[in-house]
Amino acid sequence: MKKIFRHFPVLLIVLLLNVLCIPSSIAQDALTISGSVKSGEELLPGVSISIKGTTIGTITNFDGEYTIQASANDILVFSFIGFNTVEESVNGRTLINVNMIEELTELSEVIAIGYGTVQKKDLTSAISTVKGDELAKRNVANVSQALQGQLAGVQVSSNGGSPGSEASILIRGISTINNNNPLYVVDDVPMDDISWLNPKDIENVQVLKDASASSIFGSRASNGVIVIETKKAKAGRTNISIDATYSIQDAAKKPKMADATEYAKIVNKAATNSGLDAPFSDPETFGTGTNWWNEVTQVAPIQNYSVSINKGTEEMKIASGFSYFKQDGLVKGGGYDRITMKLNTEYKLASWLTIGQNLSLSKDRTDNGPNLVWDVQRVEPNIPVYLPAYEQEGKNEFSIYHPTLYTDVPNPMGQLARSFNKTDYLRTIGNVFANFDFGLGITAESKFAFYISQWENNDFGPTYFIESTDYNNENWVTRSHNNRTQYTWNNLIHYKKQLNNHKLNMTAGMTLESDENRYLYGEGYNTPNNHPDLRYIDSTEDTKRYASGSNNKNTRQSFLARANYSFNDRYLLTASFRADASSRFNKENRWGFFPSVSGAWNLAEEGFMESVSWLSQAKLRAGWGQVGNDNIDNDALLTTLGRTVYVFGAERNINLGQAPASVGNADLQWETVEDMNIGADLGFWNQKLSASVDYYERRSKDMLLATSIPYYLGSAWSTPYANIGTLTTKGFELVLTYRKEYASGFRMTHSLNLSKASSKITKLVAGEAIWSGNHQRLENLTRTVEGGVAGEFFGMVTDGIFQNESEVINYTDEFGNVLQPHAQPGDMRFKDVNGDGLINADDRAVIGNPEADFTFGMNLNFEYKNFDISMLFTGSYGNDVLNAVKPYAGTGSERYNSFAGLLDKAWDGEGSSNTQPRLAAIDDNNNFIYSDFYIEDGSHLRLKSMQLGYNFPQTWIEKVHLGNARIFIGGENLFTLTKFDGLDVDLGGSALERGIDWGQYPLPRIFMVGANISF
Amino acid sequence: MKKHNKLFTAFAILATLLVSCNDFLDQPIQGKQVLENYFANEDECLKALSGCYASLSPEDWWENDIFYLVGDICSDDAFKGNSLEGDQRDFGELARFNITPQNEWVQYKWQYAYEQVYRCNLVIKNVPEAPVSDALKMKVVAEAKFLRAFAYFELVRNFGDVPLLLEPLTVNDPKQVRVASTLIWKQIEQDLNDASSVLPERSEQSAVDVGRATKGAALAYLVKAYVYQEKWSDAETLAEQVIGSGEYNLNDPFTNVWSVHNANGNGSIFEIQTVYHDVLDAGTALPVFTRSRADGGWGFCTPSSYLDNFMAADPRRNATIIKEGDYVDADYPSYDTSLSENETGRINRKYWVAWNDRPAQSEHTRTPLNHILFRYADLLLLHAEAAWHNSNEADAISSVNKVRNRVGLGPIGSSGDDLLLDIYTERRMELAMEGHRYYDLKRQKGIKYPTSPRLKEVMEEFVSYNMGANSDYDAGNAKGSLFDENTHVLFPIPQAEIDLSEGTLTQNKGY
């Protein structure tokens, strides 16, 4: 991590350089103009005045007065943060007084808070927002990826770089050890899938972080709520806007594997070290062999195009749009493309009635290539990809690959050739609504929304023969469908009243939701041959077909109410209540009630603060609320039965039986999350610098978790849900935003967000520990206990390497018993943690913490004239990660390939290494048992995104009748500073398995070029 | 405003209507049967019983079927076999006695045995309450008790003291503790006695019931349970009863005992039933798992040269072992064991299936070779062992000679300790590579070390042969050198299970 801090000065210098760009005003022999600048009756100091098209400028003094020299034809530009810019032509005048109008600042921005809106200044709870424009800058497939690094308290981790993959989002750390996905609410409709949304169609995103904000969404809000407002039809002239981006991706980091010669030497050494014959007589003859990584990867393009059209009058508004996104896989065989279309209309039928509809269509296709990243790091390099030409003769196209001779990894290129798995997704999302205005401040709305998706997967397995462990005698075809239908009906009434200094805003309503999945699967065997035209179930043998299908449905009913009250814009109070019933629970446990209350004090509005002019905003907030979590399977309460197969009879007939397939827990109830948030929003020097701090404590009670149960209960593969305990998360968030504008027209906006969330298990039922993370080599990777962090890495503790025989013999307990009698020099020394004189599983200890001390995001934006540059940095500090590839490639003890350099790195004689054990084919000491050997520092700093844009001058644009034209170049994942050895340090994962690198799909480094045009 | 009021009223009425639709929140589970209303008719009771049998060979989990091979690899008869260290590493660690509580194979055994216990407990508890005939109740419960006894037999001989569950428990029941093995054996005896009093003899079974538990099977397992507990007199008496029933014989030629064409043969007491099916995985993995890698197999559990030398003069050798270059049949005139990947240059003949008998698809889950768990020769030799301990040498000799007679060997006439050794020798020859030897050696007392299990001296001799005189393919392999008589007579309780029970379950000695 020190390394990263070494680079912070570089960033600081970048920042300083900006500050130092102070423009100088050069005198000119021309008119001397003077005047004063006011806002209403108030004089404004610090307003910058510049001569348009030059860098000449000045600033008003403390009395709001200025003097500048300009020629008679010049135009003066008056600009001041928080006010609309004013342009005045000199026209020979020497006295120019200006009255500036406060611009609609971010404080008066309207924030969607779910079932209603509120002005930002009236907020009482912890809500972060990001504008759609910010997200649109990122050339990524979906909204979740675009949110990375943008908001304090919102931690976005990539789930690898495979095309179209969604990132995982954590709001304020983990709130449960169950599913931590936030609830998405798109235009007031709750949903769990937003991958259909084109990021460019988003107006703004609000993240409701604390329960006082999110409790209006009750039973599903425990992981926070992301409220998304899509772009709606607006009144105005016809506006057409076109975006086009083209990008190229390559791997941000490639694995460095041993070449064929080193591989053979490692295998030989491991064998001879164990007293066995060396399998390879002359390793050098292998040369470098096959570089499997290069074989399976490619430089791949991303294309992204969208068009939107909007036109509207007060009576009728229409917006429509179209987009196309296509990403080829960095690893061959993968790919993703998506087409979206939308149509929004709104009609004002009468002064009291508006009706309308929103409709979005999204069609995407994913080529699900095999996950070769894992395999190419294990397969031996000393075989060619293909059989020699003379051996290929007479074989089909899937059988011409060389068998792997020394490992059980199938030939990766062979796997690629057989990859036919494709998923098609068609989603139709929309709503119809009617808004009523009853007068007297009473309005009502009824909205019926639907989400209908059709998911289809097709796969084909050809006949082929590569070797006796990698072949298929009978080809097969599968197809599956899932139809999902989700309906939501919202009925809301709003009441708004202002009386003198009292403002009251009330909302009440009820909602109904239903969600149904219908699944069908079919498979068939033995099509006449592998021809593409015959890869359908119809071509398979009709006695060799099999089908399955399922249905499940759940429903919810809710009542909600909320009231906002404000007095004199200074004292704000919000209270809300939601009652939810879910079909997932028994009648006795069905209803859950979720109240909240929050308040804020606008200190800066107080009379006694008037004299403190440098403080432009000061708001103190506090909130409390309860939310819930019903994230369990529909049949979680019941033990369901599944089909078993056995054989009876002299004729040996199949006999199908029944046995419990998944075990239920009849006593399940809601998980309740209660949280408290205090915060302050501060603005200085008329918002030139603003800061927002929040501190929170959140307690998740009766956490629902699918847990492993003792195997003796007879259902080892079943993980029933249980209310397993309490998790307490404490954290803080800080956002600093700095804006500066120079008379020269140079502007910058920088913001830094910093978050810390620390989750401790405060209670587990019966004090049990939860084990998670089943690795083929290492078993349970994490343990979660009362008083500990969720998902702590728990394994053996190493203490260097035995350098010689006497170190082995002298490593004893207090009675002189040798602790590791099977060890040899070069073997790992393990600590006898519990001091019982034995080295065994009881000596495991906490060996790593997946939770970061803090995570951060930093946005740097510069604008000068027509140019703009933006950079986004993301990172974390102090978290541990587990390298789960290392048990294969980092040990050299089996015939899997190793990381390059392992031959020299491994212990080979006294003093040669104290971290990497000797190479050994037979390892009686279990050197590579799960230990801190696999834990690494996950701190990192990444330049996530960078963009340089140029806006064509207005004068040119007008000539060609364009409204706006911008071109840009940019990049993603341009560099990462970290000590982690794996391919990507940005690891998501579930609550109990955070920070584990399972051979994740590598993150692409992307270079892009694009244009936006509107007219 | 009047119009607005109407609208408002309409809206309010609508909202109220919605609230009253209570059924909206009652959503039944679709497409699955649930346990709480199962056992409602005869068919459901029989299907639940079928599920109890299915645990013997789970559809898609061949590791359970294969665990019986531990009886060979943890002895001097076989090695892990496949010499690729990374391939089924934990299987190899079992063979080397480098066994950790994390060993996945040990975990599978534990999980599936308890799965069977759970399924049997559901049947034993619920079927007596079901609206079905008393005859059916008795039959179903008796078979379930046999299978429960079988599951506990597997548990107690592999793990020693284990939790004893006689009712289906739920996730909210208190954690269990390990129960002394003597009590486990007592329960096994109880269940087998209960079962044998109801179950039909093999000859009384209808053709459609072949493969189900029989009275003979229950009694034979009871014999074995007595032998494990060294209740020699009970064992001998009961074995005589089964022998005397005339239900079983040795009429099948030895070479035909393990054949896909000899399912449930004349000597079959209990075997796992298999069949080939196009879609369902109702076969065994044994042939693919043990066959040579050059012959489309995975090359595991290969016979040692030590065993081959021992059997060299025995007529059963060619039906037990295939060595590199051996003639097997017309398709395999000179067998390729894939020497570079085979620790011993041999494979197990008993599970080898001829080319024409192999299924075209999914061979490793669909080969129709019944897995014989208990056959008549085993019972005869158990009888001989028990009779010897009861000093009935003539009876012991008679049983041994029956076994020898089938393969054309002359009678033995030894006595005293020599006779015991002859019984042991016969047992090894007859049952080699069928998963018995490790379990036999650990229950039998040593001759060189009378207070230790015989396994100790056998492993010593084996290691000294391999590290010394052996000049065969498996020379120099130190397998067995890590054997510790205080530890390796039982397998470890799976670490994951100890972790999940959070301290109520303790580990076996030495792990």
Please give, rounded to a whole number of angstroms, the shortest distance from the CA of B101 to a CA of chain A: 8
Please give, rounded to a whole number of angstroms, the shortest distance from the CA of A914 to a CA of chain B: 25
- Domains in chain B, CATH or no CATH each: 38-198+482-511 (1.25.40.890)
Range from A109-118, B182-191, B344-353 carrying the lowest mean pLDDT: A109-118
Tell me: the pLDDT tens digits for A843-866?
Answer: 999 999 999 999 999 999 999 988
A14 C-beta neighbours (distance < 10 Å), count: 13
Chain B residues within an 8 Å CB radius of A665: 170-172
Contact B54 A583 (CB under 8 A): no
Instruction: Report residue B286 as tokens.
Output: 């044994």
The two most distant CA atoms of chain B are separated, in Å, by 117
Contact A655 B50 (CB under 8 A): yes
Please give, rounded to a whole number of angstroms, the shortest distance from the CA of B208 to a CA of chain A: 4
Which carries the bigger pLDDT value, residue A201 or residue B195?
B195
Tell me: the pLDDT tens digits for B167-208?
Answer: 999 888 888 999 999 999 999 999 999 999 999 999 999 999
The beta strand positions in A100-179, using DSSP E, are 110-112, 117-119, 127-131, 154-157, 168-171
Tell me: the pLDDT tens digits for B394-430?
Answer: 999 999 999 999 999 999 989 999 999 999 999 999 9
Q: Give strand pairing partners of A331.
A: A297
Residue A26 has pLDDT above 70, yes or no: no
Residue B2 has pLDDT above 80, yes or no: no
Residue A766: predicted pLDDT? 58
Instruction: Report residue B245 as tokens.
Output: 């029933």
Query: CA separation (Å) from A321 to A197, A201, A508, A613?
Result: 12, 8, 33, 46
Highest mean pLDDT among A751-760, B31-40, B312-321: B312-321
Q: How confident is the model at residue A82 (pLDDT cuts 50, 70, 90)?
A: low
| Sign for the pseudo-dihedral over CA of B485, B487, B490, B491 | negative
What is the rounded average pLDDT of the residues B267-280? 92
- Among A473, A590, A653, the residue with its CB nearest the CB of B361 is A473
Three-class DSSP category at B23 = helix
Contact B502 A275 (CB under 8 A): no
What is the rounded average pLDDT of the residues A597-607? 88
Chain B residues within an 8 Å CB radius of A632: none
Highest mean pLDDT among A106-115, A357-366, A813-822: A357-366
Contact B117 A714 (CB under 8 A): yes
Q: How far apart are CA B386 and CA B383, in angstroms?
A: 5
Contact B207 A651 (CB under 8 A): yes
Residue A187 has pLDDT above 70, yes or no: yes
Backbone angles phi, psi at B312, to 5 degrees: -45, -40
Contact B86 A895 (CB under 8 A): yes
**Sequence-distant (≥ 6) Cβ neighbours of residue A252 within 8 angstroms:** A973, A976, A983, A984, A1002, A1003, A1004, A1005
Q: How far apart are CA A899 and CA A378, in angstroms?
A: 9
Domain ranges in chain A with CATH number 2.60.40.10: 23-99
Chain B residues within an 8 Å CB radius of A443: none
Residue to mutate among B499, B504, B507, B511, with most A CBs inside 10 A, is: B499
Residue B474: predicted pLDDT? 93
Homologous superfamily (CATH) for A23-99? Immunoglobulins (2.60.40.10)
A661 C-beta neighbours (distance < 10 Å), count: 17
What is the rounded average pLDDT of the residues B301-327? 96
Residue A108: predicted pLDDT? 65
Residue to mutate among A353, A435, A652, A776, with most B CBs inside 10 A, is: A652
- Among B1, B114, B274, the residue with its CB nearest the CB of A647 is B274
Three-class DSSP category at B498 = helix
Query: Integer distance in angstroms from the first to the last C-alpha of chain A?
Result: 49
User: Which of these, A231, A230, A223, lies nearest to A207 by C-alpha position?
Assistant: A223
In chain A, which residue's Cα lies nearest the Cα of B260? Answer: A652
In chain A, which residue's Cα lies nearest the Cα of B480? Answer: A924
Instruction: Report residue A72 as tokens.
Output: 């008679």
The angle at the Cα of A299, spanning A295 to A302, to the nearest 5 degrees, equals 140
Please give, rounded to a whole number of angstroms, the shortest distance from the CA of B58 to a CA of chain A: 8
Q: Note whether B324 contacts A: Cβ–Cβ < 8 A.
A: no
**Sequence-distant (≥ 6) Cβ neighbours of residue A366 within 8 angstroms:** A163, A164, A334, A335, A336, A422, A423, A425
Instruction: Report residue B126 as tokens.
Output: 């619920």
Residue to mutate among A550, A655, A834, with most B CBs inside 10 A, is: A655
Residue A876: predicted pLDDT? 93
The beta strand positions in A232-370, using DSSP E, are 236-251, 300-312, 316-328, 335-350, 353-367
Bridging pattern class, strands A31-39 and A65-70: antiparallel
Q: How confident is the model at residue A16 (pLDDT cuts 50, 70, 90)?
A: very low
Q: How confident is the model at residue B9 (pLDDT cuts 50, 70, 90)?
A: low
Residue A105: predicted pLDDT? 57
Contact A462, A475 (CB under 8 A): yes
- Mean pLDDT of chain A, nearest integer: 88
- Among A406, A553, A641, the residue with its CB nearest the CB of B32 is A641
Residue A11: predicted pLDDT? 41
**Secondary structure letter of residue A14 according to DSSP:** H
**Sequence-distant (≥ 6) Cβ neighbours of residue A199 within 8 angstroms:** A132, A135, A136, A138, A140, A142, A143, A146
Three-class DSSP category at B53 = helix
Q: Note whether A410 contacts B: Cβ–Cβ < 8 A.
A: no
State percent of chain B over pLDDT 90: 80
Q: Note whether A269 contacts B: Cβ–Cβ < 8 A.
A: no
Residue B445 has pLDDT above 80, yes or no: yes
Contact A837, A819 (CB under 8 A): yes
Chain A residues within an 8 Å CB radius of B85: 893-895, 921-922
Contact B126, B39 (CB under 8 A): yes
Tell me: the pLDDT tens digits for A530-580?
Answer: 999 999 999 999 888 989 999 999 999 999 999 999 998 889 999 999 999
**Secondary structure letter of residue A405 according to DSSP:** S
Residue A703: predicted pLDDT? 85
Unique residue bearing structure tokens 């068939």: A524
Please give, rounded to a whole number of angstroms, the shortest distance from the CA of A654 to a CA of chain B: 7
Range from A729-743, A760-774, A782-796, A877-891 carrying the lowest mean pLDDT: A760-774
Q: Note whether B87 contacts A: Cβ–Cβ < 8 A.
A: yes
| Sign for the pseudo-dihedral over CA of B99, B102, B108, B114 | positive
Contact B48, B42 (CB under 8 A): no
Q: Give strand pairing partners of A471.
A: A465
Instruction: Report residue A713 as tokens.
Output: 């209960």
Complete DSSP assignment for A721-784? EEE-EEEEEEEEEEEEEEEEE-TTS-EEEEEEEEEEEEEEEEEEGGG--EEEEEETTTEEEEEE
Query: CA separation (Å) from A447 to A118, A201, A433, A436?
Result: 20, 20, 4, 11
Q: How far apart are CA A513 and CA B179, in angstroms?
A: 51
Please give, rounded to a whole number of angstroms, the shortest distance from the CA of B348 to a CA of chain A: 18
Tell me: the pLDDT tens digits for B138-172?
Answer: 999 999 999 999 999 999 999 999 999 999 998 88
User: Which of these, A498, A310, A446, A471, lies nearest to A395 by C-alpha position?
Assistant: A471
- Among A653, A658, A665, the residue with its CB nearest the CB of B172 is A665
Whats the size of chain A, residue-wise?
Answer: 1015
Window 186-205 of B, Cβ < 8 Å to A: none
Q: How confident is the model at residue A14 (pLDDT cuts 50, 70, 90)?
A: very low
Residue A247 has pLDDT above 50, yes or no: yes
Range from A28-37, A492-501, B278-287, B344-353 carrying the lowest mean pLDDT: A28-37
Q: Note whether B355 contacts A: Cβ–Cβ < 8 A.
A: no
Q: How far apart are CA A990 and CA A174, in angstroms?
A: 9
Window 152-171 of B, Cβ < 8 Å to A: 162-163, 165, 168-171
Contact B25 A583 (CB under 8 A): yes
Contact A722, A702 (CB under 8 A): no
Instruction: Report residue A698 as tokens.
Output: 């959140």
Instruction: Report residue A403 as tokens.
Output: 């068998």
Q: Between A and B, how many CB-CB pairs are < 8 A?
A: 289
**Secondary structure letter of residue A283 according to DSSP:** G
Residue B48 has pLDDT above 50, yes or no: yes
Residue B17: predicted pLDDT? 52
Q: Give strand pairing partners of B271.
A: B372
Residue B14: predicted pLDDT? 57
Q: How far apart are CA A575 and CA A675, in angstroms?
A: 14
Contact B297 A468 (CB under 8 A): yes
